[in-house]
């Protein structure tokens, strides 16, 4: 790291209250954690930035007990008052947007514009949740019994466990935390061990807002590994909801553990997202969209485009343009404004990418460009295009790297069938100017994903919609629309204001 960069890093960390070594758990106060040290590595240089002392099982227990106490107080606050605290949190994030966005880039490696975008996503979530705090509506129904009234209401649920991945170190916390907070829940956050500093910095910001409002410590934090934090949390009967983002394998084991105790889980797991481009599509638009969706965030979004279906009439020309565009992208320092693609998160991610490319070639794929890791400091790779066919099993896997598999098709029905043939079901797009093709893609026989776009890439969803996917993606929905409902418990209430006791369904039971 150059001196200049080192200076920049230390002033960034200082402005966010991050020290050389930080405690890894917060329960209203910072706990003097005693687990192994987690070193945070800058993926651009491979050098350590600072460290966090991880949380042990006993320390997790303290955070969990505190979150129950915080919940019992917080649930009595009127929802709009809870919204006011979230509004202030949004303001505080506006103030720290540059520093926090910079830290995301430093620790995770996405380009600065995306690091800042993530903080913006948190701010947007805060604004949305403030509005929600006055709109946690229940329905009222007409009772079949005379002089009876029936309605439903939504109550706070309890402490929520939030498990997030390295690739969106703050935004995914905000999808859950802003909504859970206005719903009256407390929470325990288990962030990725690859981005612990961001979690410490964000929790410090949240702490100040809580203290300024004399609010209970609803934003708990426990940075630690699976055995010390993940497992006790998913098995903890005091935590009615576990919201987890990560791999399918992780989601499967969390889903089982939570189901075993009949808890609720909200799973946002892998994607293997496809874009279909028809002969009549606007090629310029499609090209830009494919680039952002496949190369953006170095292919490390769950919404990254991993499969491209080209209709035969445009396939050759589109491939040529795409190869040229890929070759023009030089991975580099994500802090530099001109960089479009930063490093992968760590050496393991580079190895996984190399292994996937080797497997693809073995299975008959042809590398059109890229295909190599870049020697030198940091974890840089070349964005890679592979001509593939749907018989290649590797194309059913999500490799968290910038590999795009290209297929060709004649008829739209075949492209949709192939598109839907993978186990995952997160995001999908079609590029077409034909209204019939667009509507067919969106019809019940069209895309089987939780997100389906027309003339927009698969990534970069807005927070106003419900975010999540089907099949092995896990079925959960977060952020906007009515996703708040999973953070609350529904109660159906019937009130008899008469003098009689009529029974439903006309049942007679007179003594």
Give the interface with ligand UN1 as residue ranges (CB under 6 A).
167-168, 172, 245, 301-303, 459-461
Judged by CB, which is closer to ligand UN1: 72, or 470?
A: 470
Nearer to ligand UN1, 184 or 425 (CB): 425
Least distance to ligand UN1, CB of residue 292, Å: 10
Q: Which residues contact 151 (CB under 8 A, 6 or more apart)?
A: 138, 139, 140, 141, 492, 493
Distances (CA, A) of 265 to 199, 202, 235, 344, 478: 22, 24, 12, 29, 12
| CA dist., res. 197 & res. 191, Å (int) | 10
**Alpha helices (H) along 282-433:** 283-295, 312-327, 347-362, 412-419
Least distance from C-beta 169 to ligand UN1, angstroms?
10
Q: Are 112 and 101 in contact (CB under 8 A)?
A: yes
User: Minimum CB separation from ligand UN1 for residue 324, in Å?
Assistant: 25
201 contacts 17 by C-beta, under 8 angstroms: yes
Find, among 477, 453, 481, the residue nearest to 467 by Cα.
477
Distance CA 489, CA 183 (A): 10
Q: What six digits make up the tokens of 349?
A: 């991610």
Q: How many Å is the maximal CA-CA distance in the chain?
A: 89
Task: Give the shortest CB-425-to-ligand UN1 separation in angstroms.
Answer: 14
Catalytic residue (one of 114, 183, 302, 478):
302
**Residue 387 known to be catalytic:** no
Residue 157, judged by CB atoms within 10 A of its CB (0-12, 13-18, 19+), counts as buried
Of 118, 121, 268, 398, which is the active-site residue? 268
Least separation in angstroms between CB 287 and ligand UN1: 19
| Active-site residue flag, 302 | yes
Say if residues 285 and 455 touch (Cβ distance below 8 Å): yes
Nearer to ligand UN1, 31 or 353 (CB): 353
Residue positions annotated with a catalytic role: 268, 302
């Amino acid at each position: 790291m150059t001196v200049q960069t080192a200076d920049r890093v230390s002033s960034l960390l200082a402005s966010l209250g991050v020290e050389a070594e930080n405690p890894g758990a917060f329960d209203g106060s910072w706990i003097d954690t005693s687990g192994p040290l987690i070193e945070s590595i800058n993926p651009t240089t491979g050098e350590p930035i600072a460290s966090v002392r991880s949380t042990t099982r006993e320390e997790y227990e303290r955070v969990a007990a505190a979150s129950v106490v915080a919940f019992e107080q917080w649930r009595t606050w009127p929802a709009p008052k809870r919204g006011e605290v979230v509004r202030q949190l949004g303001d505080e994030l506006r103030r720290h947007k540059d520093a926090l966005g910079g830290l995301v880039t430093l620790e995770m490696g996405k380009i600065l514009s995306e690091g800042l975008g993530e903080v913006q996503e948190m701010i947007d979530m805060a604004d949305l949740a403030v509005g929600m705090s006055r709109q946690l509506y229940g329905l009222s129904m007409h009772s079949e019994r005379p002089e009876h009234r029936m309605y439903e209401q939504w109550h706070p649920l309890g402490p929520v466990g939030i498990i997030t991945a390295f690739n969106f170190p703050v935004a995914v916390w905000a999808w859950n935390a802003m909504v859970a907070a206005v719903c009256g829940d407390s929470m325990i956050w288990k962030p990725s061990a690859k981005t612990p500093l961001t979690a410490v910095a964000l929790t410090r910001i949240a702490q100040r807002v809580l203290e300024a409002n004399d609010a209970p410590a609803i934003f708990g934090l426990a940075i630690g590994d699976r055995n010390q934090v993940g497992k006790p949390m998913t098995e903890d009967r005091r935590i009615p909801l576990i919201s987890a983002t990560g791999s399918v394998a992780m989601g499967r084991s969390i889903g089982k553990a939570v189901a075993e105790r009949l808890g609720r889980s909200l799973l946002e797991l892998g994607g293997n997202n496809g874009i279909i481009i028809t002969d009549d599509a606007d090629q310029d638009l499609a090209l830009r969209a494919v680039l952002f969706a496949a190369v953006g965030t170095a292919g490390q979004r769950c919404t990254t485009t991993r499969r491209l279906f080209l209709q035969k009439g445009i396939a050759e020309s589109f491939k040529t343009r795409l190869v040229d565009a890929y070759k023009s992208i030089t991975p580099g320092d994500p802090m530099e404004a001109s960089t479009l693609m930063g490093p992968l998160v760590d050496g393991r991610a580079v190895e996984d990418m190399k292994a996937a490319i080797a497997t693809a070639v073995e299975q008959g794929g042809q590398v059109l460009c890229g295909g190599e890791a870049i020697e030198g400091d940091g974890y840089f790779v070349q964005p890679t295009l592979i001509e593939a066919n749907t018989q290649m099993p590797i194309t059913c896997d999500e490799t968290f790297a910038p590999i795009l598999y290209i297929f060709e098709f004649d008829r739209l029905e075949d492209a949709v069938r192939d598109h839907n043939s993978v186990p995952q079901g997160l995001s999908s797009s079609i590029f077409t100017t034909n209204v019939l093709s667009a509507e067919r893609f969106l019809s019940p026989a069209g895309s089987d994903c939780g997100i389906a776009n027309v003339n927009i890439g698969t990534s970069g969803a807005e927070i106003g919609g419900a975010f999540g996917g089907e099949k092995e993606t896990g079925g959960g929905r977060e952020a906007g629309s009515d996703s708040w409902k999973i953070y609350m418990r529904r109660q159906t209430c019937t009130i008899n204001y008469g003098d009689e006791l009529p029974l439903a369904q006309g049942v007679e039971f007179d003594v």
